[in-house]
Copies of this chain bind each other. A is one copy, B any other.
Amino acid sequence: MSFESFLTKENFEGYEDPERYKKDWVPRLDKYRADLESAILPEYKITLPEPIEKLQKDQFNPLEYLYEKKLLSDEEKRITELSATELAKEIASGKLKSVTAFKAYARRATICHQFTNCALELFVDEGLERAQMLDEYFEKNGKVIGPLHGVPISLKEQMDYKDKITHGGWVGLLDRIPKKHGATIQILENLGAVFYVRTNQPQTLMHLDSNNNFVGTSRNPFNLGLSSGGSSSGEGSIVAFGGSSLGVGSDIGGSIRAPAAYSGCHGLRPTTRRVALLGGISSGAGQESVVPVAGPMARSLDDIDLFMKHYVNDGNPWQLDQWALPLPWRTVEPPKPESLTIAVMYDDGVVKPTPPIARGLKEVVAKLKNAGAKVIEFKPIRVQEAIDTVNKMYNCDGNYMQKKLLSASGEPLTKLTKWALNYGNGSKDIGVAENRKLNVIRDSLRQEYTDYLNANKVDFILGPAYNNVAPLPEAVYNWSYTALYNILDFPSLSFQTGMFQDPTVDKWGSEHSSYTYRSELEKLELSGYDPELFKGAPIALQLAGRRYFDEELVAAGKTILKVLDVDLLHK
């Protein structure tokens, strides 16, 4: 079954208008790209070792190259290998200037962009001004303006940024220039963060990948032949590459966890309403069956904790955004491994994991058991039903809003836009009564999973973040491993195992030759797995916990990373 055979044409016919697009929008997109190109400051410009297409074909690893070729000074390397927690501390102690820290990140980010195409907008000059202002404030007052004083943070473009185009991946929104920051950006600015880059995301924001008509796809910092994931695509690349100290993504089906997992960093999808969403663009305004979240991505779980703690407790997002919950972020110490009970989902019953993911999971389980954790097998509960339901929820408005936003420019639809427009009932508005029934199914799922945790005294569910490592560009179809936790609204964390795909090891076992795919989707996802194509891709997993108990989840993640001895900061 080909990709196309999955699609129903009625679900995306009448969106495109090639003539109007070419006439009204292509020249403006050319200018948009030229502006981005010219925003690369000369001092941070590098000469690529080969043309980018060749590097992509060769599965080039730019992070390795950064280190081998010493593209950073020793001090720049040292600074960009600090956790955000350490960085903030050095700046607050006066040991390090915001400007010095910023310049190191500006270089690393700009190098990252030249390899991975992670940025939609670079404004390093503004970041530098801000860093200078922060240093002046510190000198004058002898204290920081907030707990994130001087920390360089990258932002998914979707969030409203004062006086800057905020298009969310829709060409038709090129004129959308917010008059003020979205609530989360405003809070981070109040806390002292420095902004300088807004990152790539796919058309419609509804891919676990990155293609759009602005700048195309972002690539994986460990293998330029692979995707960086999505929809927080550029955040995956830049955070994993070390081009920012912390990143902010958003997630309605895996859009924080997929890019973090694929690209090689950690990403938290918090429970809904802990991070403000006021001020931003999505096609889901007023959709509350499966609610999007914003959340942090980082190279260290201390930094995820740092972000959430200060964002929630010092940022008080509920004061700006009525929708955010006044639920303080609690300090939770990492538990001892032997106090943990973890249920492992080896296969969700929708798409089984490829060899590197299966290997990663097996090894992590072995190490956890060895460290004393109690590990039981999780028998997936109604996953297919959950995924069918969440897929219907995404577009049960008959794609009304997506159509409106896409048709505004008549822009060409990318492959995975068509895929997601095809979800559920496609272009059919199912009506309110049917939508309510979906919500009832959702609530029964949430209750059943909660009852499972209670009855079995399970603390967390461990499993894949996706059925594969980073996929080839525009070839990620299955959202089941991540979207499950969106419909459940369980906090979930993609984390790195420190392991990488190895073509010599990660081959299908002999039993696979007689494996009968359980669905056409599974076949589509798995039949393209050729070990040679995924060389060196990070192996990540996912941990999920109880609704609103995000603090316990992050703390347990720290315990697991300690058991695995993972350090993403130092190469």
Listed in ascending order, the chain A residues whose CB lies under 8 Å from chain B are: 278, 284-289, 318-319, 321-323, 325-327, 396-398, 400-401, 429-433, 435-440, 443, 446-447, 449-450, 454, 547-549
Contact = CB atoms under 8 A, between A and B. Distances in A.
Contact of A323 (B396, B397, B435, B443): B443
A244 B439 CA distance: 36
Contacts of A285: 436, 439-440
A439 B325 contact: no
Given A288-B288, A429-B432, A432-B429, A322 B438 contact: no
Nearest to A436: B286
Given A432-B397, A432-B398, A433-B398, A288 B322 contact: no
30 contacts: A278-B447, A284-B436, A285-B440, A286-B436, A286-B438, A286-B443, A287-B436, A288-B288, A319-B454, A321-B447, A322-B443, A322-B447, A322-B449, A322-B450, A323-B443, A325-B548, A326-B548, A326-B549, A327-B327, A396-B432, A397-B431, A397-B432, A397-B433, A398-B431, A398-B432, A400-B436, A401-B433, A401-B436, A429-B431, A435-B435
Residue from the set A288, A319, A322 with the largest chain B CB neighbour count within 10 Å: A322
B433 A431 contact: no
Contact of A548 (B288, B318, B440, B443): B318
A435 B286 contact: yes
A184 to B, nearest CB: 15
Contacts of A440: 285-286
A288 B433 contact: no
A446 B288 CA distance: 16
Give this chain's copy count. 2
Given A327-B327, A429-B432, A429-B433, A446 B286 contact: no
Nearest to A548: B326
Contacts of A397: 431-433, 436
A326 B547 CA distance: 9
B327 A326 contact: yes
Contacts of A398: 431-433
Given A318-B548, A440-B286, A433 B400 contact: yes
